[in-house]
Structure 1
Amino acid sequence: MEGYDLVVIFSFFAFPAFSKKYGHLTADGTYQLTAAWQTGLTNGTCIGEMIGLALTGIFADKYGQRWTIIGALALVTCFIFITFFSPNVHVLLVGQILCGIPWGVFQTITPSYAAEVVPMELRPYLTCYVNLCWVMGQIIGSGVLRALVDRTDEWGYRIPYALQWVWPIPLAVAMFLAPESPWWLVRQGRVDDAERSVNRLMTRQGQKAFDSQKAVAAIMHTNEMEKQVTSGTSYADCFKGIELRRTEICCMVWMIQILCGGGIMAFSSYFFERAGLNTSYSFDLSMAQYGLGAIGVFIAWALIPWVGRRTLFLAGQILMMILLLIIGFIGVGPKSQPSSWAVGALLLVYVFVYDITVGPLTYAFVSEIPSTRLRQKTMVLARNAYLIANIVNNVLTPHMLNPTAWHWGPKTGLFWAGICFLTIIWAYYRLPEPKGRTCAELDDLFERRVPARKFASTVASPFDDGRRNGSVVSALRRQEERKAQAP
């Protein structure tokens, strides 16, 4: 849903009917929304998302992930009315801020839930799938806009907003029928409910009851182990001891989605138009961009087991920096039709690389790196860091591209290539490899302060010291005693 709406609002800046309604007439005879209002609309969404993120950390811990998502879906159904009926750009801004609140909920709660309901082997696939969901929303949004680009009446921009009402009810029904996270249930002391949830998530074969007890006992052990290292579950605890390093990693990984130049993709239609292509071709290339993005996620799924998260992430950053440099140097030369198409083609390649590497892998990192007790709050902080970077991007990029402001055009690539280089240095020294590690093993490696470059080669021993020895067995015994005492 968020991927759909964001591509709609960003692409509307190159949409004739929208620009005529909310923009003003420029000297060249076209309608343009000013760079200030472009910044306002995009950052208004970010402000709403930051509010939603803060609420997520509170409500998800108290009510669980399922009911928090259902509540957010109810809110977004109401807030869409404001954007649909907005008579001017001021009301539209209010609608974008309010819609951002439930979108903020969706941003972190979905990868967190995905990481908690699947086995370790499937964890990177389902968390990376979140990026594919973004791409699917973007493809639908671009397709709708491409179909309506020639409409000059108000329905050219109202129909895309109205289509958002299609999603909430089916998604709410699906979430109501889904099992609750067994990790959340254990933290609430609802061990029996956690076993029932695990039974729903497991295949219907073998000794199901014993397996669920063992799985819940392992969850209980990890929860107790993390209690010994981190006493609380507040936002402040995310910045204490070893949790500070985990918070830093998650914040930086999510910010790199923007800092590697990924923010240009949100303005792709407008970028193509500023590079010299006409409006129809701009939307055609945007659809091709998101189609390549979907293919990229499937390629990432194939590469993750062989290459690993860290190596693939670093390789993607390096390739994207090179592509941004080439785009920027093309922009230095005179503008022509061949150079415009070259910029468009290179940006498509850039998106393809992004959606094989940095795009999907971010969701794997931010859901795997935090401790289980602080996962939701760490992800909220990390996503807020992303939104801060996005706000900066939303201020800079419209000014870089807008002909009434800095008018850099493709030269914008040089700026983001420099920032991308700095993120490569950080990732090399600070980004660990979580491949094949259970939550308890990751806790052990972080507690021992293993350097990021040695994560993959270090043997984790979460059960070795006397403080932890036999804790899974003890947890199983406590479950059996509790059941024996039950009426």
Structure 2
Amino acid sequence: MMGQDNKITVDMMEKTNVEGVDVPGSTDITFRQALKANPKVMINCILMTLGPMAFGFDIIIVGVVTAIPAFLQTYGEFDGKQYILPSLWLSLWNAFMQIGFMIGSVLNGWLSDRFGRKVSMMAGAAITSLGVAVIFTSDLSGSVEHRRGAFLAGKIVLGIGLSMMATTSLIYNSEIIHPKLRGVVLSLFQFFLVFGQMIAAFVAGSQITIGFQLVSYRTCFATQWAMAGAALVAALVVPESPVYLLKRGKVEAARKSLTRLHDPTMAESSLISIQETLDHEKAEQQLSSDATYLECFKGHNWRRTRIILYASIVQQFHGISFVANGTYFMIVAGLSPVNAIKVLEVACALALVGIMVSWFLSHLAGRRPTLIGCTAFLCPVWISIGIAGCYPTSKAALWYMGIMINLILFFFNVGAGPVIPIIVAETSSVRLRAKANGIGFLCNGFASWAFNFFVPYLFNVDELNWGGKTGFFFAGLTAIAGVVLWLELPEMKNRTYRQLDEMFENRVRTRDFRKYACTT
């Protein structure tokens, strides 16, 4: 047995007989065989997706409460007909939560590599709980401006914690899962995120009928603590990532972690497989043992980082920032709060079905066709919403816009939603994964900040008042995104990380990835 701080050498690899053993990186088995051989890995991956579930729940809760009458009365202003939220504050709340996402992403890249995936998940859960506490008490001030400011501060802190949990979940699951299971497991990020959104919609729907009682939105805020607590428990239960442990030179700890994740007979071969990939990447780049953010922008790593950036911001081009405000938009346009929440509930349920459809679609067709196809399909959908927005007095047009805006959740989750986390997680090298994913979440946060700030100005009644005609704007953006993805996004389905290293190092053309024969 090797000591905890000993290095796994080439001689040790050569002396270890792994012939006939299906190491975690092997792609020579079927999906069913991989699923049967990795039950403990699947359980731990599901536990870590409680982070994304908390992410989805909190995002919807702090967004849908803007439709609750008591919240509008406490934080909004009366425009002569109804209570509304000023565009400035609606933009600030949406945008500065993205600031929190960016801070959390940068912080998590360092924290996860320094102290481990478990610690970064627990820290994210703790910070999330603190943010919930600030939001929960934000209405105690007698000044509406102070209430709005406190709510803004709480959303920033909440964004930091949620970003840390979401980033850690992707890093951890991508490091322990078999390549054959990678697509389904990494798409669980989006599945549990939407599942959290659906729970949030039902929680908000149960409170919206209470009317102007403060308990209606306070109950929504309080339930966020339960989600953060579940993620904290999950982080305590799962074993530490063996990739992190090997990067820190803790060989014996990595072996114990692998024994908890796999059959004990697989631990040694798994250990060698991971170490060989890490050693190759360090030797190829001729770098020190400590990964840096700068490496993500050098050589072939820049191409990998670029792909992560496209995948990280494309959801904003799909119009998700508008969809996030869909409930408030429908109420301002004339739909009752109860009906607006019901539409959201149905859309979230359909989105879960869409994700399950995507499991088969991305497995059969691949990541590239699924994401590009989804992007192309959303373009005419947004055009139809824009056309309906040209008839603001029509009740039928209003219902069409409301239904289609929320059903974009379904269309988005058939393709882009579940595939984006897969692309972000599997594109970077193993050694730079925490840093590259942190950059991806940082850019996602910046794009979300920008879109969440200016989109309310496009559709809200006290500013440009485009309403449904905002659909034309997003139709143009989806067209641009489709062209960029066609040129830059390669197919990485069923490839080991070592094989992906080879293809990026050899600068294989984007459309040649699928048919490239690796020597690895």
TM over 0.5: yes
Distance 1:301 1:332 in 2: 37
Corresponding residue for residue 307 of structure 1: 365
Corresponding residue for residue 449 of structure 1: 507
One-letter amino acid matched to 2:128: V
Q: Which ranges of structure 2 fall in alignment gaps of 5 or more residues? A: 1-53, 140-146
From 135, 140, 151, give the equivalent of 2:199.
140
Residues 101 and 163 in structure 2, CA contact (< 8 A), matched pair in contact too? yes
Distance verdict in 2 for CA 1:345–1:23, change over 3 Å: closer
One-letter amino acid matched to 2:190: N
What are the within-5 Å matches in structure 2 for residues 389-404 of structure 1? 389-404=447-462
Distance 1:45 1:349 in 2: 24
Corresponding residue for residue 153 of structure 1: 213
Q: Percent same amino acid among aligned pairs? A: 28
Distance verdict in 2 for CA 1:345–1:80, change over 3 Å: closer
Are 1:121 and 2:177 matched, yes or no? no
Structure 1 residue 452 displacement after superposition:
1.2
Distance 1:172 1:346 in 2: 36
What are the within-5 Å matches in structure 2 for residues 30-45 of structure 1? 30-45=82-97
Distance 1:76 1:391 in 2: 19
Distance 1:380 1:213 in 2: 30
Are 1:319 and 2:371 matched, yes or no? no
One-letter amino acid matched to 2:295: D
Corresponding residue for residue 90 of structure 1: 149
Distance 1:333 1:289 in 2: 23
Corresponding residue for residue 160 of structure 2: 101
One-letter amino acid matched to 1:331: G
One-letter amino acid matched to 2:216: G
CA displacement 1:389-443 (0-9 Å, x = unmatched) = 1112112221122111111111111000101100000000100111010000000
From 467, 472, 475, give the equivalent of 1:417.
475
Task: Tell me the matched-pair count.
Answer: 456
**Equivalent position SS for 1:355:** helix
One-letter amino acid matched to 1:17: A
Residues 24 and 33 in structure 1, CA contact (< 8 A), matched pair in contact too? yes
Moved more, 174-183 or 417-426: 174-183
What are the within-5 Å matches in structure 2 for residues 74-85 of structure 1? 74-85=126-137
Residues 392 and 398 in structure 2, CA contact (< 8 A), matched pair in contact too? no
Q: Which ranges of structure 1 fall in alignment gaps of 5 or more residues? A: 463-487
Distance 1:50 1:128 in 2: 22
From 113, 122, 147, give the equivalent of 1:70.
122
CA displacement 1:284-317 (0-9 Å, x = unmatched) = 1011111111111111112222111101111100
What are the within-5 Å matches in structure 2 for residues 61-460 of structure 1? 61-87=113-139, 88-151=147-210, 152-203=212-263, 208-209=264-265, 211-230=266-285, 231=287, 232-460=290-518
One-letter amino acid matched to 2:166: Q
One-letter amino acid matched to 2:161: P
Distance 1:13 1:176 in 2: 34
Distance 2:406 2:350 in 1: 7
TM-score, reference length from structure 2: 0.85
Residues 107 and 383 in structure 1, CA contact (< 8 A), matched pair in contact too? no
Residues 275 and 343 in structure 1, CA contact (< 8 A), matched pair in contact too? no
**Equivalent position SS for 1:290:** helix
Residues 131 and 156 in structure 2, CA contact (< 8 A), matched pair in contact too? no
Structure 1 residue 328 displacement after superposition:
0.7
**Equivalent position SS for 1:41:** helix
One-letter amino acid matched to 1:218: S
TM-score, reference length from structure 1: 0.91
From 58, 83, 90, give the equivalent of 2:110.
58
One-letter amino acid matched to 2:192: C
Residues 276 and 336 in structure 1, CA contact (< 8 A), matched pair in contact too? no
CA RMSD in angstroms comes to: 1.4
Moved more, 265-274 or 296-305: 265-274
Distance 1:191 1:21 in 2: 56
Structure 1 residue 173 displacement after superposition:
2.4
Query: Deviation above 6 Å: which 4+ runs of structure 1?
Result: none
**Equivalent position SS for 1:109:** helix
From 5, 8, 14, give the equivalent of 2:67.
14
Structure 1 residue 275 displacement after superposition:
4.2
**Equivalent position SS for 2:414:** coil
Distance 2:234 2:434 in 1: 21
Structure 1 residue 15 displacement after superposition:
2.3
What are the within-5 Å matches in structure 2 for residues 467-478 of structure 1? none
CA displacement 1:170-197 (0-9 Å, x = unmatched) = 3322221211111111111112222221
Moved more, 406-415 or 43-52: 43-52
Corresponding residue for residue 100 of structure 2: 48
Residues 276 and 335 in structure 1, CA contact (< 8 A), matched pair in contact too? no
Distance 1:431 1:274 in 2: 39
Are 1:26 and 2:79 matched, yes or no? yes
**Equivalent position SS for 2:177:** coil
Distance 1:168 1:8 in 2: 13
Distance 2:138 2:388 in 1: 40
Moved more, 216-225 or 2-11: 2-11
Residues 99 and 446 in structure 2, CA contact (< 8 A), matched pair in contact too? no
CA displacement 1:333-353 (0-9 Å, x = unmatched) = 353111112223323442211
